Amino acid sequence: MSLSDESIEPTTRQDAPTGFEDPKPDNSMQEFYQLYKQLIITTIVLIGIAFISVWIFYSVNIALNYLLGAFAGVIYLRMLAKDVERLGTEKQSLSKNRLALFVGLIVVATQWQQLKILPIFLGFLTYKATLLVYMLQIAFTPDSK
């Protein structure tokens, strides 16, 4: 039998996490993906509001510095979500590699003359404001279950 006669099927692992594309997640993972999506949308809305406000009250340069930090914060939130997704199946604890993103951003901001540290830092913390909004939302809305 020649190699061309055989049907070669690619092998895929069904139990390995595939990011946020699991076709049939269990109920808890489905809630996790829904929460993640809600947090990302809220973060983007807060970034838009803050970016426009900073642009109006300060300058476009400061607003772009804020946007750079906020973009890094969204990447950090994404890395955190991937880490949490793998928790229990592949990992036993969360990794600390995400901190390198923040440290690298601050180091670049201190070395590059056009970048301002405070707007970048506050932009990075925008994802924390999202968590506060979510906490207030669940604290003051009645349970729908």
19: left (phi over 0), alpha (psi -120 to 50) or beta: left
The structure's pTM equals 0.71
The predicted-structure confidence for 14-46, as pLDDT tens digits, reads as follows: 444 445 555 555 677 788 888 889 999 999 999
Which tops the pLDDT comparison, 124 or 98?
124
- Provide the number of structural domains found in the chain: 1
Residue 121 lies in a domain: yes
- Does the pLDDT at position 145 exceed 70? no
22: Cβ contacts below 8 Å, ≥ 6 apart: 29, 33
- Domain enclosing residue 35, as ranges: 27-140
Residue 12 belongs to a domain:
no
Examine residue 15 and state whether it is found in any structural domain, yes or no. no
| Amino acid 117: pLDDT | 86
Give the separation between CA 2 and CA 11, rounded to whole angstroms.
20
Provide the Cα torsion 73, 76, 81, 86; round to 10°. 180
